[in-house]
Amino acid sequence: MISVGYMAKRVMRKCDWIQNDLVEDVYSVSDCISENFTHFIDFWKHNGFWFFDSPKIISVLAKEHNINLAGTKLFYYEVYEYQYDEIRSTWEPFEPEPLMVTDVQIPEEKTLEGYDVVSFFVSPAPGCSYLSCNNMAAEIRVNRHCLIPTFEEAKSLLSQGVFDNCEPGPSRIFAIYSVPVDME
C-alpha cells in the first residue's frame, strides 16, 4: 500500500440512498455523500495523489481561507499500488501527478476503518465510491462505515467483476484510517 495523504471530511450519517441496515455512516473516499471540508483544488495545496501531505496543511489552509473545520473528521489514506481496468480485466501500476510534490507524513496513531473501491475515470482526483455512490453496499458485505472489511475482499470483488456495472474505471482500492486529531 502507498501512503497518499489526509482529508478532513464532513461524515454523513446513513442516508436513504444506501440500502443496508448495518451502515451507520459513510467513510467513503469520494466526496459525493461525505463531503470534503472544502473544494480544495483551487488552493493548490494538495499533493500528487490529490490529498494533503499532513493535517497541518489542512489546518493552515482552513485558517488562511476562513474555512470552518468544526464537525469534520480527519482521515488518512493508503492505496493499493495497482489500479484495476475493468475493460481489460487487468491490474496496472499508476503514479501520482508528477508535477506536484508528494511527501506524506505517516500518522503516529491511526485506526483502520475498512477499504473503499473508487473510480478514477474523470480526473486524477478520486471519483465515485462504488459502495456508497453506486449503492453496492446493498449487495455486498460492508461494515458500519460503508466500507469493505478486508483488502482481500475488495481485491477479489474487483477481479470478479462485481463492480463492472458501476461508474467506469479504472478503480483503486483505498485503506481508510481515522486519525485522532481535533481539526477544530
Phi first, then psi, for residue 101 (nearest 5°) are: -70, 135
| Residue bearing cell 473516499 | 29
**Pick from 149, 30, 157: nearest CA to 86:** 157
Check residue 58 and give left, alpha or beta (phi > 0: left; psi -120 to 50: alpha): alpha
* pLDDT value at 22 more than 90: no
What average pLDDT does range 74-80 have in this prediction? 98
Q: pLDDT digits over 84-137, tens only?
A: 998 898 999 999 998 899 999 999 999 999 999 999 987 788 888 999 888 888
Categorize the per-residue pLDDT at 183 as very low, low, confident or very high, splitting at 50, 70 and 90. Answer: low
